[in-house]
Amino acid sequence: MKRYLAILIAFIGVILIPKEVFAEEVHLYLFYGNTCPICERERAYLETVRENYPDVKIFEYETYQNIENKEAMIELKEMYNIDGGGVPFTVVGDTAIYGFSDAYQEKIENAIQRYQQEDYYDRVGVFLGLFEDEEIKQEKPVETEDTTPTDNSQEVEDTEKQEQKKNNSKGLLYLAIITGVAFVGILLYALIKGSRKKQNTVNH
């Protein structure tokens, strides 16, 4: 009976493990200036993020001395519809933050927790060349006076694929829960039946 009880406890433990344990790696991008006091505040704060969120990988890009980093930041701000060329500039997934304050800390952590729970497209990592994806090259804005409607069928197809992937993940999660509940029920039934059988044997 002890062996069945140990198996039951272990299985319940696996079912109840928070999803964060299995979270994907989250990428945070910080563009900063080496003499910017606000940037230094955020960089100090990000040290606590590293400690509290081991699955977060932080990429830092200095923009005062590095022209390429500054130009990349400007293009990314255009991509995220953010005005201003200053720093700090922080991006996590689709969450882009210009500036830094105590209020922004909650916004950053909310974004981290969100992307720990769901798949997301790391467009900044692709844009910076850290990850390969041929599709993102077509998304870079091009200045043109052509007013012909653009074909967004690929974007729609990608969105549908992402939604299908999320639905499949949810389906597997529900199946795992149902299977787990059924397994727990069977184990409990076996334990109760074994206990009664043992009592009957003792009584006889």
Per-residue pLDDT tens over the stretch 47-67:
999 999 999 999 999 999 999
Q: What is the pTM of this model?
A: 0.56
pLDDT tens column, 17-45: 443 333 469 999 999 999 999 999 999 99
In this predicted model, which residue has the larger pLDDT, 145 or 71?
A: 71
> Where along the chain do its domains lie?
17-142, 156-204
Structure tokens given for 20: 């964060």
Query: What's the rounded Cα separation, in Å, for the pair 28 and 8?
Result: 39
Query: What's the rounded Cα separation, in Å, for the pair 64 and 87?
Result: 9
Give the per-residue pLDDT at 108. 97
| Range from 9-13, 38-42, 69-73 carrying the lowest mean pLDDT | 9-13
Q: Is the pLDDT of residue 125 over 80?
A: yes
Query: What's the rounded Cα separation, in Å, for the pair 73 and 57?
Result: 18
In this predicted model, which residue has the larger pLDDT, 98 or 132?
A: 98
Average pLDDT over residues 105-132: 92
Q: Does domain 17-142 have CATH number 3.40.30.10?
A: yes
Query: What's the rounded Cα separation, in Å, for the pair 141 and 78?
Result: 9
Structure tokens given for 4: 């069945």
CB 89 within 8 A of CB 73: yes
**Beta pairing, strands 89-92 & 26-32:** antiparallel
| Range from 95-99, 150-154, 166-170 carrying the lowest mean pLDDT | 150-154
CB 102 within 8 A of CB 45: no
